[in-house]
Amino acid sequence: MPPDGAASRDALAYFDTLPPVSVSDMGGLWRGRELPTGHPLDGILEPAGWFGKRFSDAETVDPLLFGTPDQLVAVNPALVPIGILLRAPFLARNPVALAVFRSLRTFMATSAPKARLRTVRYRGSESAAMIYDDLPIIDHFRRSPDQSVIGAMDLRGTDAPFMFQLTAVAKESERV
């Protein structure tokens, strides 16, 4: 995995060396972790309580899970003010704003899937990608040597992707 604090250019160079991931390999619950690269969204998700993502099947994806494994809340990404976060990320890092988000996330919850998985060509490789239903975002995935998955969130209008790592927690069929 790229070192924490790697520049976007270096993180993408590392990403490009990684092998593709199949859609079927993405099934289950995944714990997320930000990979800081200087992107405006760095340092926003984890303090807000981001847990990760859940891929029930190719058509049923929860792209934004918050909370703990015992109390996960699937948040509707369309209700997250991504434009404001990109223009003024310091607002989301404010302790008061974080507390407000934590108290409001149950009102932003959804029981409907908000993304799907497809194989997509990105940066010269065909690999699994998560396509958001209501936003111009595609998360592209590659397999890391430690068997985690490195993600590059490609958001229309940004110069570089937001980078993150996903580590499998358990397959849905193994969860109680």
Show contacts of 17-20: CB within 8 Å, 24+ apart. 18/142, 18/143, 18/144, 18/150, 19/142, 19/143, 20/125, 20/126, 20/127, 20/128, 20/142, 20/143
The model carries a pTM of 0.89
Q: How confident is the model at residue 176 (pLDDT cuts 50, 70, 90)?
A: very low
What's the angle, vertex CA 130, arms to CA 160 and CA 90, rounded to 5? Answer: 45
- Write down the architecture of domain 8-168 according to CATH: Beta Barrel (2.40)
Q: Give pLDDT tens digits for 111-166.
A: 999 999 999 999 999 999 999 999 999 999 999 999 999 999 999 988 899 999 99
Q: Give pLDDT tens digits for 31-59.
A: 999 999 999 999 888 988 899 999 999 99
